[in-house]
């Protein structure tokens, strides 16, 4: 793609002033230790890519290009550290000069023709021109399970890793969305069964219960229950001016359901789960190392989601987006044990969160009846508790900070007495309403049952769509991971014999019998 004519290095790494004329030929740089062989390679890489790979990567700590790239006598004057390289681009028949300084690593290209810049962009995007001994040794020692990663790192195929992480992230996000949708399906199903007055969701029972009400209104019986079937098909639309009535039978059934939901919140199962999770969280707090790692894991996970451009969302320093994602993902992988403990705790908390959501939904339903009474009934305590359930669920979902979560967790089974008193008063007021006529009761039954049926159908559709999306996302992620591992592993196998032979020859004094 390009051939190097010459390079001029000034105040860069350990080199004060040096010009080498390569004359577009293959060359080798030799000399005793400390004479600047690596410095020439670093300078060439910097001129072509704006980076020095030996000053980046694992184990480099606080080493950075601007501070450690200049000659030691010019450490505070990075503008003096400059590299100019002249290259020939055979495909264009042009000689190009590229100059960079450590103060501003943006390349100054002459001539800056679009086709020239495109060639140099490709070189910069694939900087596998420099393979250090460290990288070669890692490649040599790679175990079968790690070979695809090392081939990817050696050839700087960052995009493969980026796509892999992106697909994994999408699959994980889809899976996380399933939990609330499953809860929604269960809640809407329970509400529907309660409205129908049956114990199991079977077509025959739904039709039998619905037709019993339809017959009393002179409506034809339903013969099948399809996706588009309406239980109140043929029912006259009420006159708009008619004031909204409380469906007495259904309202009383919902109040009983609300009591059951609150009993579930304060029941033995919830208490046992609260105790178990509290013990786990206190164990995490009791280990400063784990607690610190848990916070970092959460921070890194959030940071990875926010990476969108060439700046770190946590420190605002400039990064290559691919390198930044790889860097953060490496830190998350390092905290795998902590991540597994967090996941285990989250699984234990999930049923409590679902119970709180269920209680909140039940309270919202019965509170709606209170405003229809004459005079209306203020259920402030119930409204406050419904808000408490929502906030508690949000706190348990967030998990961190742990002390706040433990405080909320210990209060989950506590249902204030005034909530139950509000519900009891509402029940008494509704029970005291005049009994509806058989026709009115049937109309109310069909209207409420159809509304609950539509809610359940909608929840089922959303869950099915999310489940299919999750399955496809996981399948795509797994296929991509397996395929990329296979392809990269094959690259390793294809070059294994030649690599062993060449490496042994180059290092024949001490490693002539080397085998990869």
What average pLDDT does range 511-515 have in this prediction? 55
119 and 226: one domain? no
Given a cut of 60, whether residue 273 has pLDDT beyond it is yes
Predicted pLDDT at 140: 66
Q: Does 259 have pLDDT greater than 90? A: yes
Residue range of the domain that includes 426: 172-455
Averaged pLDDT, 491-508: 74
Burial degree of 356 (CB within 10 A; 0-12, 13-18, 19+): buried
Mark whether 370 and 249 lie in a shared domain. yes
pLDDT band at 61 (very low <50, low <70, confident <90, very high): very low
Q: Are 303 and 313 in contact (CB under 8 A)?
A: yes
pLDDT at position 161 is 77
CB–CB of 430/246 below 8 Å? yes
Q: Give mean pLDDT, residues 501-510.
A: 70
Which H or E element spans position 30? none
- What phi, psi does 351 have (nearest 5°)? -60, -35
| Whether residue 184 is found in the same domain as residue 71 | no
Q: Which two tokens stand for residue 441?
A: 């009761």
Residue 268: closest CA among 340, 355, 199: 355
Average pLDDT over residues 429-433: 95
Range 488-501 average pLDDT: 77
329 belongs to a structural domain:
yes
Domain shared by 102 and 183, yes or no: no
**CB–CB of 150/142 below 8 Å?**
yes
> Where a domain ends, among 455, 475, 508?
455
- Distance between CA 169 and CA 410 in Å, rounded? 33
Inside any domain, residue 220: yes
Does some domain include residue 494? no
* 349 in any annotated domain: yes
> Are 239 and 124 contained in the same domain?
no
Other CB atoms within a 10 A radius of the CB of residue 159 amount to: 11
Q: Domain total for the chain?
A: 2
Whether 241 shows a pLDDT value over 50: the answer reads no
Shared domain for 218 and 303, answered yes or no, is: yes
pLDDT at 388: 95
Transcribe 320-363 into DSSP letters.
-HHHHHHHHHHHHHHTHHHHHHHHHHHHHHHHHHHHHHHHHHHH
Q: Which of 433, 455, 477 is the last residue before a domain boundary?
A: 455
What is the model's pTM? 0.62
The answer as to whether 479 is a domain residue is no
Asked whether residue 325 is domain-assigned, the answer is yes
- Domain boundary pick from 455, 474, 492: 455
Say yes or no to pLDDT of 301 above 60. yes
Nearest alpha-carbon partner for 51 in 147, 163, 141, 158:
158
Residue 309 corresponds to which tokens in the numbers above? 């451009």
Q: Residues 409, 264: one domain?
A: yes
Question: Same domain for 79 and 16?
Answer: yes
CATH number of the domain at 35, please: 3.40.50.300
- 350 occurs within a structural domain: yes
Q: Which of 279-288, 436-445, 498-507 bottoms out in mean pLDDT, i.e. has the lowest?
A: 498-507
My answer on whether 22 and 109 are in the same domain is yes
Compute the residue count for the chain. 516
State the average pLDDT over residues 19-41. Answer: 86
Does residue 118 share a domain with residue 22? yes
Is 152 within the bounds of a domain? Answer: no
**pLDDT averaged over the chain?**
84
Same domain assignment for residues 84 and 188 = no
Same domain flag for 214 and 118: no
């Amino acid at each position: 793609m390009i051939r190097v004519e010459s390079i001029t290095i000034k105040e860069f790494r350990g080199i004060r002033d040096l010009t080498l004329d390569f004359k577009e030929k293959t060359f080798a740089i030799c000399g005793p230790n400390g004479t600047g062989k690596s410095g020439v390679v670093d300078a060439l890489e910097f001129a072509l890519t704006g980076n020095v790979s030996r000053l980046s990567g694992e184990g480099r700590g606080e080493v950075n290009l601007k501070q450690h790239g200049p000659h030691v006598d010019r450490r505070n004057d990075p503008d003096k550290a400059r590299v100019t390289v002249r290259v020939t681009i055979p495909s264009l028949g042009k000689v190009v000069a590229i100059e960079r300084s450590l103060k501003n690593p943006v390349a100054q290209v002459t001539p800056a023709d679009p086709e020239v810049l495109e060639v140099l962009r490709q070189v910069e995007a694939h900087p596998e021109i420099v393979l250090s001994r460290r990288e070669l040794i890692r490649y040599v020692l790679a175990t079968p399970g790690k070979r695809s990663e090392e081939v990817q790192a050696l050839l700087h195929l960052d995009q493969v890793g980026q796509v892999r992480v992106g697909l994994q992230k999408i699959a994980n996000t889809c899976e996380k969305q399933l939990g609330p949708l499953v809860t929604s399906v269960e809640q809407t199903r329970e509400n529907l069964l309660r409205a129908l007055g049956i114990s199991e969701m079977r077509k025959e029972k739904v039709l039998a219960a619905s037709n019993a009400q339809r017959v009393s209104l002179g409506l034809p019986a339903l013969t099948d229950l399809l996706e588009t079937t309406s239980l109140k098909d043929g029912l006259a639309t009420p006159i708009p001016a008619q004031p909204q009535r409380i469906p007495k039978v259904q309202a009383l059934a919902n109040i009983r359901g609300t009591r059951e939901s609150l009993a579930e919140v304060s029941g033995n199962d919830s208490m046992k789960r609260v105790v178990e999770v509290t013990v786990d969280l206190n164990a995490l707090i009791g280990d400063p190392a784990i607690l610190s790692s848990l916070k970092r894991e959460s921070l890194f996970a959030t940071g990875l989601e926010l990476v969108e451009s060439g700046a770190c969302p946590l420190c605002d320093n400039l990064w290559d987006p691919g390198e930044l994602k790889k860097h953060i993902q490496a830190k998350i992988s390092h905290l795998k044990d902590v991540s597994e403990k967090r996941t285990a705790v989250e699984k234990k908390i999930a049923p409590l969160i679902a119970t709180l959501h269920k209680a909140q939904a039940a309270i919202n339903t019965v509170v709606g009846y209170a405003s229809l009474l004459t005079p209306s009934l203020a259920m402030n305590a119930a409204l406050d508790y419904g808000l408490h359930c929502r906030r508690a669920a949000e706190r348990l979902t967030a998990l961190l900070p742990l002390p706040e979560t433990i405080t909320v967790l210990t209060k989950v089974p506590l249902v204030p007495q005034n909530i139950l008193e509000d519900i009891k008063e509402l029940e008494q007021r509704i029970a005291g309403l005049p009994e509806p006529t058989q026709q009115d009761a049937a109309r109310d039954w069909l209207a409420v049952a159809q509304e609950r049926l539509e809610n359940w159908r909608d929840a089922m559709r959303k869950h099915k769509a999310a489940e299919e999306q999750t399955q496809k996302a996981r399948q795509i992620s797994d296929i991509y991971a397996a395929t990329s591992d296979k392809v990269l592993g094959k690259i390793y196998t294809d070059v294994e014999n030649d690599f062993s032979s060449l490496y042994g020859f180059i290092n024949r004094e001490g490693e002539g019998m080397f085998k990869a």
